[in-house]
């Protein structure tokens, strides 16, 4: 069928058309929520949306079949750049996926790959359509395969607006970013099946609502409603290139807030603070878009701009577990670093960590394996990677957080930063344990010896003399150094695809 523009004329169509189904879906939409067609129109630039496959019918549903088979798909522009979009319609059997429905999504994904354009899918589906049985399940398999082929080639964004159940929940998990609205629910098995199989009585919200999925890394961003989700999606697309091998669009540079970023950092090594305040002090307009804020919060991952250029920020968060890395934060940071690598986004790494979390729980949780993912991700990434050590960097975490030895493009440190194998008091507790035990006041002696050890072995100047740090800088000069680095040390993007952004 010839693609057509989604305008007022296409919405005033006969009952049973995609637009009529969208109107029916409006009956269940709440404040701030949109119809399936409304989501696409709100996302795309005015008048740019062209729909396709609006006449396809399910041969299985008979009189209940509706044109489009429960999904609207097409191509529009967002900020003047082409984007492939689709929106599932719960008005037809709960948005369940049938063979024609699946074919429409797969065709759109193939077009996106051929044209090198991002994909945004609005998900609201009860899962595979029971009336179509194995054909519906095979449809999901084809979608998963198509998403996997696109992974790392074009940005993939899922917006879950309603139920996302059964095998269909794997589709958002195969994309780069998943946004959930407050009324969205994601789970492999619904409350009824859970109750029947396990005896557990749980609500859909407690089983797979956004407050559950944002804490385990399934959901990256939570929107209050559809309008909010559309706003987030447009902002996210603005940070990203249309495809791998292309540079992200550069925005007009905006000054950072006019204050020294070190004002947010206590001199006392054990005092916590919010590293996001430091990040905001060095990025354009003080604005960051944090990704996966509620999952593994001891590390911050965010998108921002420095001198108009998109950068990915990876930062230890001292207000949570003192900025310690653990199994989950290793996974979170590794996937973000790899995503930036695949799409040519430079990395600014803000380091303030005492190390990896010790203990049997972490060892049993495979902290070695998950920490190795972060090491691998930074070592693999060939985008400009600039590290700034704010206050401390100890042990294996010092290496894992984009150290010079791991391949950092540039390592900077603030003058008061401590860098070494371990913290000073922990170090003297091992090498001076007898002297400490013999002291009249062991705690005071340990503190005294720790200060001496730090002054001799852990200074930023000492690390610079060894070549571990490239330059010790005034904190007030941090933004200026980052602007220079990302402007001068840019590397040409590779034209070929190097990897997939598989779920870590």
Q: ∠ CA(8), CA(227), CA(41), 5° rounding?
A: 25
Helix axes 478-488, 275-282, angle to 10 degrees: 60
SS3 220: coil
Residue 446 is classified by DSSP as H
Residues 453-480, buried b or exposed e (16+ Cβ, 10 A)?
Answer: bbeeebbbebbbeeebbbebbebeebbe
Phi, psi of 221 (to 5 degrees): -140, 145
Instruction: Tell me the residue ranges of DSSP E strands in 60-197.
Output: 71-78, 81-88, 119-125, 156-165, 177-181, 185-187
d(CA 70, CA 63): 14
d(CA 73, CA 398): 47
Active-site annotation, residues: 166-167, 396-397
d(CA 264, CA 179): 31
Share of the chain residues as helix, strand and coil, in percent rounded to the nearest 5? 45, 20, 40
Q: Are 120 and 161 in contact (CB under 8 A)?
A: no
**21: Cα separation from own chain's centroid:** 33
Q: How far is CA 425 from CA 43, 115, 118, 453, in A?
A: 54, 58, 51, 8
Q: Are 303 and 313 in contact (CB under 8 A)?
A: yes
Strands 4-5 and 50-52, sheet pairing = antiparallel
């Amino acid at each position: 069928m010839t693609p057509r523009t989604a305008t007022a004329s296409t919405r005033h169509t006969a009952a049973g058309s995609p637009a009529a189904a969208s109107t029916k879906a409006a009956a269940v939409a709440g404040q701030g929520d949109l119809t399936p067609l409304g989501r696409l129109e709100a996302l795309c630039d005015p008048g740019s949306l062209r729909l396709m496959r609006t006449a396809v019918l399910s041969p299985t549903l008979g009189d209940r079949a509706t044109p489009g088979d429960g999904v609207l798909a097409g191509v529009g522009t967002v900020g003047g750049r082409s984007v492939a979009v689709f929106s599932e319609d719960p008005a037809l059997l709960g948005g369940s996926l049938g063979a024609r429905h699946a074919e429409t999504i797969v065709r759109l994904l193939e077009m996106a790959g051929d044209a090198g354009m991002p994909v945004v899918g609005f998900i609201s589906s009860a899962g595979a359509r029971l009336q179509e049985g194995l054909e519906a399940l095979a449809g999901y398999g084809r979608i998963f395969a198509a998403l996997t082929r696109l992974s790392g080639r074009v940005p993939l964004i899922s917006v879950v607006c309603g139920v996302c159940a059964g095998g269909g929940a794997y589709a958002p998990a195969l994309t780069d970013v998943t946004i959930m609205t407050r009324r969205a629910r994601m789970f492999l098995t619904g409350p009824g099946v859970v109750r029947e199989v396990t005896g557990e009585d749980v609500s859909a919200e407690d089983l797979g609502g956004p407050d559950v999925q944002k804490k385990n890394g399934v959901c990256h961003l939570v929107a209050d409603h559809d309008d909010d989700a559309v706003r987030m999606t447009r902002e996210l697309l603005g940070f990203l290139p249309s495809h791998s091998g292309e540079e992200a669009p550069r925005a007009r540079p905006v000054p950072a807030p006019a204050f020294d970023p070190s004002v947010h950092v206590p001199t006392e090594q054990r005092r916590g603070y919010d590293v996001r305040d430091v990040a905001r002090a060095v990025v354009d307009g003080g604005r960051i878009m944090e990704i996966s804020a509620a999952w593994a919060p001891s590390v911050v991952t965010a998108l921002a701009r420095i001198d108009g250029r998109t950068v990915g920020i990876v930062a230890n968060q001292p207000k949570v577990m003192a900025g310690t890395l653990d199994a989950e934060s290793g996974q979170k940071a590794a996937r973000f670093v790899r995503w930036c690598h695949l799409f040519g986004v430079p990395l600014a790494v803000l380091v303030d960590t005492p190390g990896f979390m010790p203990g049997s729980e972490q060892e049993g949780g495979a902290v070695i394996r998950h920490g190795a993912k972060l090491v691998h991700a930074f070592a693999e990434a060939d985008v400009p990677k600039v590290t700034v050590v704010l206050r401390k960097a100890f042990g294996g975490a010092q290496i894992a957080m984009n150290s010079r030895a791991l391949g950092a493009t540039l390592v900077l440190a603030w003058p008061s930063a401590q860098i070494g194998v371990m913290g000073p008091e922990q170090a003297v507790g091992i090498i001076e344990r007898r002297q400490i035990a013999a002291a009249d006041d062991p705690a005071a002696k340990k503190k005294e010896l720790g200060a001496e050890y730090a002054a001799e072995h852990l200074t930023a100047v000492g690390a610079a003399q060894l070549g571990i740090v490239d330059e010790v800088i005034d904190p007030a000069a941090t933004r200026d150094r980052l602007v220079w680095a990302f402007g001068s040390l840019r590397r040409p993007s590779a034209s070929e695809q190097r990897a997939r952004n598989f779920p870590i």
